[in-house]
Amino acid sequence: MAKQPGLDFQSAKGGLGELKRRLLFVIGALIVFRIGSFIPIPGIDAAVLAKLLEQQRGTIIEMFNMFSGGALSRASIFALGIMPYISASIIIQLLTVVHPTLAEIKKEGESGRRKISQYTRYGTLVLAIFQSIGIENHDYWSAEYAWYARPGD
């Protein structure tokens, strides 16, 4: 009996192995993120942080906490979440519209897409550094709500 096209189960099985590997990677990454979002940053004063977040209801801080999966309210090691990447991606996409050089790079096909992706990762790193510095120095701007203890002060 002749083989019918599309019914080659041996080649389909190889594709399922790749899919299974990718799904396991995504599930593993989600597990690591969820565990990391419950590990607090050492030295955080939870009562002061809760008071600060209560006063910030309805502001960008509350939305930032929502997008980080509540990691900010727990002051976890993954408090920044994906916000730096999302912000960098939006900024780079807007820049490709207004900046002629980036617009040309975007039109280059696959190599242009890779270069834009690389710029997005660099932007993510820069934004994450600035956001983490902002979180670290929050008590400098608002001494009333220093939400972590500094040993020796």
Q: How many domains does the chain have?
A: 1
Residue 2 covered by a domain: no
The token pair that represents 134 in the structure block: 């902002």
Residue 28 covered by a domain: no
Residue 123 covered by a domain: yes
Residue 23 covered by a domain: no
- 148, 41 Cβ separation under 8 angstroms: yes
Lowest mean per-residue pLDDT among 45-49, 86-90, 114-118: 45-49
Which of 140, 102, 132, 145 is closest to 120 using CA atoms?
102
- 151, 42 Cβ separation under 8 angstroms: no
Per-residue pLDDT of 79-113, as tens digits, reads 767 778 888 999 999 999 999 999 999 899 899 99
Residue 6 covered by a domain: no
Residue 29 covered by a domain: no
Residue 60 covered by a domain: yes
Domain range for 71: 40-145
Which of 103, 55, 47 is closest to 75 using CA atoms?
47
Residue 21 covered by a domain: no
88 vs 134, residue with greater confidence: 88
